């Protein structure tokens, strides 16, 4: 029987009594014959890179999940509007991408709330959140549960954020991809990034191997 792997308090210790833990997913355990996989993109929208990624996804007819920084959505409303109208899943990635481990519970609430309010202006009501750099605390778990967010991490880090050459990104993904994986990429990078170039190789090759690209929510829902 299929089951969902969920990690509660993955990087957290000593949860306060009575706090309801949110689900924390880094991948979904499935029968590998299913070959479901999720592309995710962090930190956008970016006025150029996000648009190029949307174009690539449409070219190959695949879907993805974007974890949006509220401040960037406010700064680039035209690109955010395009993203929201393109039909891809959108999650909360905080308003300003600060380290949540250094914040009080009230500050975490404000980061989530401001991002959520920005996304609502574009018709998006997220039910997923990804903490910046994957760092979270008891307070983040508590707030996520209250706001009914699942916390989404990843099982394959392409390290495109480190300006990794596209050929290395491709090698990493193709050598490690398994059904249920959540792949971390970025649609907002400073300077050179091999993300788009790598996508043009990764998507058709994984499709050739029989993988189906789904959103994170679809990946969770189909195997809950």
> Has residue 6 been placed in a domain?
no
% of the chain at pLDDT higher than 90:
83
% of the chain at pLDDT higher than 70:
88
> Has residue 53 been placed in a domain?
yes
> Has residue 13 been placed in a domain?
no
* Domain assignment of residue 66, given as a range: 24-222
> Has residue 19 been placed in a domain?
no
In this prediction, residue 222 has a pLDDT band, given cuts at 50, 70 and 90, of: low
pLDDT at 224: 53
pLDDT at 6: 36
pLDDT at 21: 56
The pTM of the full predicted model, rounded to 2 decimals, is 0.90
What does the chain look like in DSSP terms, one character per residue? -------SSSS--SPPTTPPPPPEESB----TTS-EEEEEEES---TTHHHHHHHHHHHHT---EEEE-HHHHHH-HHHHHHHHHTT-EEEE--SS---GGGS-HHHHHHHHHHHHHHHHHTT----EE--GGG---HHHHHHHHHTTPEEE--SEE--GGGT--HHHHHHHHHHH--TTBEEEEES--SS---HHHHHHHHHHHHHHTT-EE--HHHHHHHT-
**What CATH number does residue 217 fall under?**
3.20.20.370
> Has residue 128 been placed in a domain?
yes
> Has residue 17 been placed in a domain?
no
Q: Which residues are marked as active site? A: 42, 186
Q: Enumerate the β-bridge partners of residue 40.
A: 65, 184
What's the pLDDT tens digit per position in 160-178?
999 999 999 999 999 999 9
> Has residue 33 been placed in a domain?
yes
What's the pLDDT tens digit per position in 90-100?
999 999 999 99
Give the count of domains, the chain: 1
> Has residue 1 been placed in a domain?
no
Mean pLDDT across the stretch 140-145? 96
The pLDDT of residue 145 is above 70: yes
């Amino acid at each position: 029987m299929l089951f969902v792997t969920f990690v509660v308090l993955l990087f957290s210790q000593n949860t306060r009594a009575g706090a309801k833990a949110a689900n924390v997913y880094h991948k979904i355990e499935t029968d590998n014959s299913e070959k479901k996989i999720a592309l995710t993109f962090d930190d956008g929208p970016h006025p150029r890179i996000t648009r190029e990624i949307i174009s690539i996804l449409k070219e190959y007819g695949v879907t993805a999940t974007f974890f949006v920084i509220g401040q960037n959505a406010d700064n680039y409303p035209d690109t955010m509007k395009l993203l929201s109208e393109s039909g891809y899943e959108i999650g909360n990635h905080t308003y300003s991408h600060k380290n949540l481990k250094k914040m009080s519970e009230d500050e975490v609430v404000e980061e989530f709330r401001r991002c959520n309010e920005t996304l609502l202006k574009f018709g998006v009501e997220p039910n997923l959140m990804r903490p910046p750099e994957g760092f979270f605390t008891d307070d983040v778990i508590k707030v996520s549960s209250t706001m009914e967010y699942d916390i989404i991490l990843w099982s394959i880090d392409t390290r495109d954020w480190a300006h990794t050459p596209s050929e290395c990104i491709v090698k990493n993904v193709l050598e490690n991809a398994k059904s249920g994986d959540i792949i971390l990429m970025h649609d907002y990078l400073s300077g050179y990034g091999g993300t788009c170039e790598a996508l043009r190789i990764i998507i058709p090759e994984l499709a050739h191997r029989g993988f189906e690209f789904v959103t994170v929510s679809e990946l969770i829902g189909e195997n809950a």
